[in-house]
């Protein structure tokens, strides 16, 4: 229990089901005096919201965030910040057929195994709608880190299905990411990805992909070994996002085939500073940041909700046939980009505060 | 700071540097009344210890564990368990050349960036010697979970360099894993892996690989969404192990290329119970265990310490040339198998206790 | 930072300022399946609300609680429960004179010392309005503990100013407590207390007092030495309430004058069970419950807000004269009784869940 | 479970039973670079050790502390510090009569109720010997806070039995406290206290008392409302010490009889700074430090172990008669003074680090 908080010093606790009264987060530990507006937060949320393009679900959700505490005269006060988005009214009847069914690869069955019963409207607490709370809190962290340290979070879509983009993560800008609806800065690959998603959608199916995470300008020295290492906390953050099945930092799974002499990143002097010639590690050694760019990849499985008919069972142990009635994303990747950024920002912000505690 | 504890209710705090007085762990939250001996714990430690075969470092370490508290008349008492392994006397002079150097892809530079200075003997706190404390605590968790729930932890080496084993994770036994010195149940692949490691060693180099983690008989209903999901906590646990660069559960990175209709695991009735036909998810939905086997993969980079000459810099910002004098593992995989098992056991044990809190 | 959560497994995070958008709590870790209504929670809140009698502030506040998540078909779902009470619209101008002033014994000065600036409307985050969130969460804990274990929380006013009631804590019922507006079951003392409060109010002054806490039917064996002892966690819980300056359990400060031979509680057999003849300890030994009634006392200072003129300074370091314009409680004791009950319930509930984790 | 840690950022986890292998602590989160020696820590431990005067137990214990990790070249390294004191060999037979007995007001019964069985040698984990680990960690915090901020911890004995000292807490020095064996700076009262303790000892009995805690030079702005307020965390810290039954800060229980107009501390300008004329609050408002001296009182019950015969029961539910055979303290107050200092230092240190995280 009590698994709904993330972070030690910059700590969010999220709440809400897809069809309850509201979703949102309490953010405890935000430094006082940060100037930020609801509009700035909303901007990040709009990158995540449904219905933003032809390749995302046309479902409409009320993703409008309100700040109800911890905020005064345009600034954070240092006290807990409640950010809330009310859910729209809806007809429960739309979901009646899900009341008894265990949808394949959804959390219906496991939530019942754990809690004895479940809020069966939409996906209840297991709905990805919860991630809007993360994006809202992440927007605050991003602003703080940008102002204090010029840290940048630039994630993008690197792969959809079998289509792999060819991108230099060092060169990508925020504008590049927003230059197309799939959020892939390789325009050729982006075009193919969009075509694939449209095809998959037409087939009533779904497809997965990989998001590349990039974090620039992180100072050397962040991270708390031996457990709260930066790669460990990033991995936890990313693996807690709906549909994520894998995380790798630096060369990751590809790096295992290299020799140590190839994989090691030699130090040299550049611009008077100690830098590494290569960055196979992905920006950390021993779990502590090196000052080089943090880069990692996050694997998203194909969305579980599909229109095609599937066989499965219900709570009465009857075998049934199911096909999704509602409107769903054929591919979550473009909407997941701001979530990856947000979770990255929560991790780095928390570690930056922990670092200050120790070294001031 | 304070990043040296892992777990909420079954909580270890490890301590110790490679060449300080001792390494070990305090385990707080172990249920009382578990019968266990130092010998049972030692058995797991012996799987991790250096010098166990021709493909591990011939370095000798004092890995003998002592229990100094929380233990009475052969049983755990429910109070904190101190497990300690004293370090052998050694000559600091052996490490003098490391005092100033920043070894490539080691944590020398980042520890200094973080802490201002470092214990330069061996790798100090960044040494993998710390993991013996994890294995000791994991041995207690494994015994408890085996007795209470028949849970089994059966990790093995799945890949070394480019050599990929071909193994049915459902069929592997603990004896299969121990049947060769590389701990790979595919005997043909094992032979090639050993040859590769010997070759790499002869070249003064190192090589990476992948460990497959397998956890059987976990009951449905463990896991604490939305952050403390089982895959998220496993990812953090594994990514906190030295040299780990990637984690994937179920189909992981390979699964992104599949369609939802291929990837989804349909439920059916088997033996009167609700089961899934496939297990692409790797044993969880929505972060909660399904009752199916948990299976995941952990990527280890090639060891950073190599005999071959490397260029790098020292703390005076001088460019230097370095080659490892000591005795080191050309490949950590065989010794890392019990560490993966132990971290898995710590995660499942913690979640089992959290589950009991809620559902008794 | 991040000091706005209480509890390990049954964990509340409160938010809200007296004149921001809302106050409330997220409760994470509530077991699923508890039947409870907003009305049952409201009942406890009504015991705390202002304006309930002639001796409390006539100020009107919107203390109406709403549950917006973690709740479905009349039951808790096991996911985070958001309870929220919206603040009424108000005129900021009412508080303009407080904008610059540091009121004596208020938190105006210290909040600015800590956060750099403060929400000066009402008392901002330091307002006792925050405690309504605790009472709401406590109502859930009380209901659960009553249903599962028949545990009762029966606090009452034991002293106001110099007027000390004469009450057998073992005999008091919930009805006794509610039998008068001061919530003191000794009717004679209650009459005197009410007279004193009216006199103090007429003088534009305030007065303090002591609440006796009583918790019955707690099973033996709760508590987590050596730090999370029941008396330690109760002390923290009570000392975190606004205006509390002291806590004692059992004989407390009076007991120091006794000899060990007088103070010790001998065990004997009663009704076939091991009981203690006396209960000077107040229901715990070594920080663990004995099965006897937990009894403790909580000291509340006189309210800082008074109508009488006071000298003080403002943020410009000017000496000023101040007298409270608004409507305030001359004595918080009657309204604080449900807060003491609630904090007691949060402590016992958390320890009960921790106990189940270990002993199931 | 897992109740053996204290602090968020400066975090100790203690371990050990009175007659197991060792007692000690792991301290995680100590800033790197603090120069300190085992001898400096030992000095504080010697103030706590048994046998230091005619009014403490003549029992000899091995209280010699060793640092085995997190320490290099005379300085803390920022990694976990293991401090350990090995227990002396002893004859278990000395305690055989305690194996079955439930000593009055001891934790024998409650530990068995909680854990099912117990280490019955000495008082096992419930022994006050555990507090040496707290004093060792506190010594590190004291040194750090003294060097960084000139903070002083000057506790002393204020009351023994009915004998109340008359002391101005603002004037007391560390030397004053050490000027007599009872650690009471009022020499007249000290003489009477010593006589009382000797009388009580001769009678085979014990007596309680009160320690006054004083913390000077704490900067304004420490404390984390609404739960982790300084008085709340101090209360928890003190109430977790063996034999403590009460805590009050500032005027505490006496203050409840005052009017607000008497109790309030008006601000004024002194030496160009904002100060309070009185300090009835004890150094905090709204749970945050004001910059004035923190002063509080801690009530210790008479020690439970007495030589006089007492009736009680054993685990077989037989009524038995018991008298303590060993050597025990007739009054713990003089030895508890360094424990109160240490716990105060742990609280302030932790809050200082939390403050730095937020405000750097």
- DSSP for D247-260, please give it: EEETTTTGGGGSBH
Q: What percent of chain D has pLDDT over 70?
A: 96
The pLDDT > 70 percentage for chain B reads 96
Helix or strand run (H / E) with residue A261: helix A260-263
Residue D48 reports pLDDT greater than 60: yes
Eight-class DSSP state of C356: H
**C-alpha separations of C154 from A222, C208, C222 in Å:** 49, 20, 19
Known binding residue C54? Answer is: yes
Spatial CA neighbour of C51 closest among C36, C40, C62, C37: C62
pLDDT, position D96: 72
- Tell me whether residues A82 and C116 touch, CB distance under 8 A: no
Which ipTM score applies to this complex? 0.97
On chain D, the residues whose CB falls within 8 A of the CB of B67 are 21
Residue B72 to chain D, least CA–CA distance (Å): 6
For the whole model, what pTM was predicted?
0.97
B304 in a known ligand binding site: yes
Instruction: Give me the helix-helix angle, D131-149 and D333-359, nearest 10°.
Output: 50
- B32 interfaces chain C, CB cutoff of 8 Å: yes
Alpha-carbon distance of B110 to B354, in angstroms, equals: 35
> How many CB atoms within 10 Å of residue B318?
11
* Residue A184 at interface with chain B, using a CB cutoff of 8 Å: no
- Check residue B258 and give its pLDDT: 97
How do residues B165-221 score in pLDDT, each as one tens digit?
Answer: 999 999 999 999 999 999 999 999 999 999 999 999 999 999 999 999 999 999 999
Q: How long, in residues, is chain D?
A: 360
The backbone torsions φ and ψ at residue B24, rounded to the nearest 5 degrees and listed phi first, read 170, -165
Q: Would you say residue D1 has pLDDT above 60?
A: no
Taking each helix axis from N to C terminus, what angle separates B333-359 and B38-48, rounded to the nearest 10 degrees? 130
> What pLDDT band is residue D359 in, cutting at 50, 70 and 90?
confident
pLDDT at position A16 over 70:
yes
Lowest mean pLDDT among B34-38, B334-338, C85-89: C85-89
Task: Output the pLDDT for position B106.
Answer: 95
- For the sheet with C22-28, list strands across it: C5-6, C11-15, C22-28, C81-86, C66-67
Q: Given a cut of 60, is residue A79 above it in pLDDT?
A: yes
pLDDT at position C138 over 70: yes
Rounded mean pLDDT, A39-58: 88
d(CA A274, CA A290): 9
Taking the CA of residue D297 and the nearest CA in chain B, the distance in Å comes to: 30
Would you state the structure tokens that stand for residue A215, as one six-digit string?
Answer: 């974090």
* H-helix segments, B224-320: 230-239, 260-263
- D 132-161 → C contacts, CB under 8 A: 159, 161
- What is the chain A residue with the closest CA to B286? A107
Please write the tens of the pLDDT for every residue from B289-319: 999 999 999 999 999 999 999 999 999 999 9
Q: What is the pLDDT of residues B316-346, one digit of tens each?
A: 999 999 987 667 889 999 999 999 999 999 9
* % residues pLDDT > 70 (chain A): 96
The shortest C-alpha distance from A174 to chain D (Å) reads 29
Nearest to A13 among C13, C22, C32 (CB): C13
pLDDT in tens, D275-320: 999 999 999 999 999 999 999 999 999 999 999 999 999 999 999 9
Distances (CA, A) of D239 to A180, B106, C95, D75, D244: 61, 45, 39, 32, 5
Is the pLDDT confidence value at A62 over 80? Answer: no
Residue D92 has pLDDT above 80, yes or no: no
> Does residue B62 have a pLDDT over 80?
no
Given the candidates 3.60.150.10, 1.20.120.160, 3.30.230.10, 3.40.50.970, the CATH classification of the domain at B5-359 is: 3.60.150.10
Tell me the CA end-to-end span of chain A in Å, nearest whole number: 35
Q: Which residue has the higher pLDDT, A140 or D99?
A: A140
Measured between beta carbons, the chain A residues lying within 8 angstroms of C10 are 1-2
Q: Considering only the beta carbons, identify the residue of D32, D225, D357 that sits closest to A357.
A: D357
Touching chains, A (3+ CB pairs < 8 A)? B, C, D
pLDDT, one tens digit per residue, over C218-269 is: 999 999 999 999 999 999 999 999 999 999 999 999 999 999 999 999 999 9
Chains with 3+ CB–CB pairs under 8 A to C are A, B, D
User: Rounded mean pLDDT of B27-37?
Assistant: 97
* Residue C91, Cβ density class (10 Å: 0-12 exposed, 13-18 middle, ≥19 buried): exposed
For residue B226, say if its preceding peptide bond is cis, omega within 30 degrees of 0. yes
Average predicted confidence (pLDDT) for chain B: 94
A249-253, C5-9, C57-61, D315-319: range with lowest mean pLDDT: C57-61
pLDDT in tens, C168-211: 999 999 999 999 999 999 999 999 999 999 999 999 999 999 99
A209 touches chain B (CB under 8 A): yes
Q: Please check whether residue A75 touches B, CB under 8 A.
A: no
Residue in A with minimal Cα distance to C15:
A80
Distance from CA of C54 to the nearest CA of B (A): 43
Nearest to C69 among A16, A33, A82 (CB): A16
Out of B10, B13, B32, whose CB is closest to D80?
A: B13
Is C308 annotated as contributing to ligand binding?
no
Give per-residue burial for B75-88: e unless 16+ CB within 10 Å, then b.
bbbbbbbbbbbbbe
The residue in chain C having the minimum alpha-carbon distance to the alpha carbon of residue D276 is: C104
Q: What is the pLDDT of residue C229?
A: 98
Contact A115 C66 (CB under 8 A): no
Taking 80 as the threshold, does the pLDDT of residue A96 lie above it? Answer: no
Q: Does C89 touch chain A (CB under 8 A)?
A: no
- Tell me the count of A-B CB pairs closer than 8 A: 386
Query: Would you state the pLDDT for residue D91?
Result: 65
Q: Give the residue on D whose Cα is nearest the Cα of C316.
A: D274
Measured in degrees and rounded to the nearest 5, phi and psi for residue C106 equal -95, 175
Reduced to 3 states, what is the DSSP secondary structure of residue B269?
Answer: strand
Query: Which residue in chain D is spatially nearest to B8 when comparing CA positions?
Result: D2
Q: Looking at CA atoms only, how far is residue A359 from chain B in angstroms? A: 8
Contact B279, B294 (CB under 8 A): no
Structure tokens, B3 = 């990043």
Q: Do C353 and B357 touch (CB under 8 A)?
A: yes
- pLDDT for A58 equals 67
Q: What percent of chain C has pLDDT over 90?
A: 86
Q: What is the pLDDT of residue A121?
A: 86
Packed helices D38-48 and D131-149: angle between N→C axes, nearest 10 degrees: 120
Rounded Cα distance, C349 and C147, in Å: 12
Q: Which has more pLDDT, D16 or B360?
A: D16
Give the pLDDT of residue D53. Answer: 85
User: C258 and D312 in contact by Cβ < 8 A?
Assistant: no
Nearest to C126 among D225, D265, D268 (CB): D225
Q: What strands, in cross-sheet order, belong to the sheet with D66-67?
A: D5-6, D11-15, D22-28, D81-86, D66-67
Q: Give the mean pLDDT of A51-69.
A: 82
Encode pLDDT of B88-144 as tens digits.
Answer: 877 666 677 778 999 999 999 999 999 998 888 889 999 999 999 999 999 999 999
Bond before B154 cis per omega within 30 degrees? no
Residue B356 with chain C: CB contacts under 8 Å: 356-357, 360
Contacts of B106 (CB under 8 A, 6+ apart): A285, A286, B123, B126, B304, B305
Mean pLDDT over residues D251-269, rounded?
Answer: 97
Task: Identify which of A61, A59, A60, A79 has the alpha carbon closest to the alpha carbon of residue A70.
Answer: A79
């Amino acid at each position: 229990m009590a698994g709904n908080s993330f972070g030690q010093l910059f700590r969010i606790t999220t709440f809400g089901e897809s069809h309850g009264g509201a979703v949102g987060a309490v953010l405890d530990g935000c430094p006082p005096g940060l100037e930020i507006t609801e509009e700035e937060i909303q901007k990040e949320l709009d990158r995540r919201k449904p219905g933003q393009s032809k390749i995302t679900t046309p479902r409409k959700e009320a993703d409008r965030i309100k700040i109800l505490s911890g905020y005064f005269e345009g600034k954070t006060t240092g006290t807990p910040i409640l950010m809330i988005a009310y859910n729209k009214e809806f007809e429960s009847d739309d979901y009646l057929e899900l009341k008894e069914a265990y949808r394949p690869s959804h959390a219906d069955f496991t939530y019942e195994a754990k809690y004895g019963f479940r809020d069966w409207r939409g996906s209840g607490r297991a709905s990805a709608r919860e991630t809007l709370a993360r994006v809202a809190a992440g927007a605050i962290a991003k602003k703080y880190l940008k102002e204090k340290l010029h840290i940048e979070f630039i994630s993008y879509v690197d792969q959809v299905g079998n289509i792999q983009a060819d991108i230099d993560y060092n060169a990508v800008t925020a504008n590049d990411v927003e230059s197309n609806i799939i959020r892939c800065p390789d325009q050729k690959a982006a075009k193919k990805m969009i075509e694939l998603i449209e095809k998959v959608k037409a087939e009533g199916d779904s497809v997965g992909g990989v998001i590349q995470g990039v974090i620039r300008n992180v100072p050397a020295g962040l991270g708390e070994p031996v457990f709260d290492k930066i790669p460990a906390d990033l991995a936890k953050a990313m693996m807690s996002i709906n549909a994520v099945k894998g995380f790798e930092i630096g060369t990751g799974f590809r790096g295992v085939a290299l020799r140590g002499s190839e994989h090691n990143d030699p130090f040299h002097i550049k611009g008077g500073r100690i830098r590494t010639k290569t960055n196979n590690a992905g920006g950390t050694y021993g779990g502590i940041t090196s000052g080089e760019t943090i880069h990692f990849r996050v694997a998203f499985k194909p969305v579980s909700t599909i229109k095609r008919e599937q066989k499965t069972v219900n709570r009465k142990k009857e075998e049934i046939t199911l096909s999704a009635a509602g409107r769903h994303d054929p591919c979550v990747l473009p909407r997941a980009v701001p979530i990856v950024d947000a979770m990255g920002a929560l991790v780095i912000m928390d570690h930056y505060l922990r670092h200050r505690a120790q070294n001031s």
